Amino acid sequence: MTIEGLLDAFTNSVAATDWERAGRLLADGFFDHVPGEGEPTAPERIIPLIADLASAVPDLALRFDGLTGEGPEHQATFSLSGTHLGPLWGAPPTGAAVEWSNPITLRTDAGKLAFRFDDVAFPELVAALRQFGLINPADLMAEPPPYPVSVPEFVLKVVMTGQAGDRDCSHLSDIRVTEPTTRVCAACVAEGTNWPALRMCLSCGHVGCCDTSRNKHAKAHAEEAGHPLMRSIRMDESWAWCYVDDAFFEGRLLAGLAGRHG
């Protein structure tokens, strides 16, 4: 099948919510990352996200405009649009039109599609996530979210690092504590300040408020103590982040360490 044929088949499968067919059109590997043993394949990651979107946006339409390139790589502008009529990841529907577009590079891999978003414009991406109510409005960023939003950690990873695979981090052997013993930012409590989310230091267990809070106590601790790795302890989140390497690790990192640390 040509790249045009593959893209048509893919957008038609999504429009028909035929997830099995859509999944069969995607290569098992990501554009820049071959999933390791026990790691979900690209279709296993991507199709559930599109299915979530389609349940929130029943008229979801995907487009690949301005396709260029003689292969093996092709460039296009990807866009998604529709009407936000159902809940998405804990955020209630707004009833409003939603749209996001970004340059994309495509490649065929044994007759299947692999893709990578290029030069993701962060303000536009944040605006798109705001359309879905997944990020607070700019003037309320330091406040707790109004409802229990739970964005899939794979989405957070791609948004925060721009890649599907793990970044190198030389600090994983520094992990000493994986479970929190407190559920407050003590420094914020002392001054009566609110926070959106909590992070826990994986070296010493210090709990502080996140990087969108007013005080950013978790990051301040990481810098002062020289403890680079933290995890989210918001709701049931357990992803980890290295401030030094800008590396994101999904919850299975800590799940794999469970029992080895207190």
> How near is the Cβ of 167 to Zn ion at its closest, in Å?
8
* Least distance in angstroms from the C-beta of 172 to Zn ion: 7
Non-local (6+) Cβ contacts of 166 within 8 A are 247, 248, 249
Cα 132 to Cα 100, 127, 129, 150, 244: the distances in Å are 11, 9, 5, 12, 31
- Chain positions 195 to 234 lying near Zn ion, rule: CB under 5 A, are 201, 203-204, 206, 209, 215, 217, 225, 227
Task: For residue 64, give the amino acid letter.
Answer: F
For residues 84 and 60, what is the distance between their CA atoms, to the nearest angstrom?
Answer: 9
Least spacing, CB of residue 72 vs Zn ion, in Å? 34
Minimum gap (Å) between residue 150 Cβ and Zn ion: 22
Cα 34 from chain centroid (whole Å): 18
DSSP 82-126: EE--S-BTTBPP---EEEEEEEEEEEEETTEEEEEE-S--HHHHH
Pair 230, 207: CB distance under 8 Å: no
- Number of Cβ atoms within 10 Å of the Cβ of 196: 18
Residue 143 three-state SS: coil
How many of the chain's residues bind Zn ion (CB under 5 A)? 17
**Cβ of residue 28: shortest distance to Zn ion, in angstroms?**
28
Rule CB under 5 A: choose which of 60, 80, 134, 242 binds Zn ion.
Answer: 242
Stretch of residues binding Zn ion (CB under 5 A), selected from 118-126, 135-143, 149-157, 163-171: 163-171
Question: Residue 50 or 187: which CB sits closer to Zn ion?
Answer: 187
Segment interacting with Zn ion (CB under 5 A) among 66-74, 91-99, 102-110, 164-172: 164-172
Q: Does 169 bind Zn ion (CB under 5 A)?
A: yes
Show the tokens assigned to 139. 């003037």
Among 185, 210, 240, 253, binds Zn ion (CB under 5 A): 185
Considering only 171, 176, 211, 237, the residue that binds Zn ion (CB under 5 A) is 171
Binding site for Zn ion (CB under 5 A): 169, 171, 185, 187-188, 201, 203-204, 206, 209, 215, 217, 225, 227, 242, 244-245
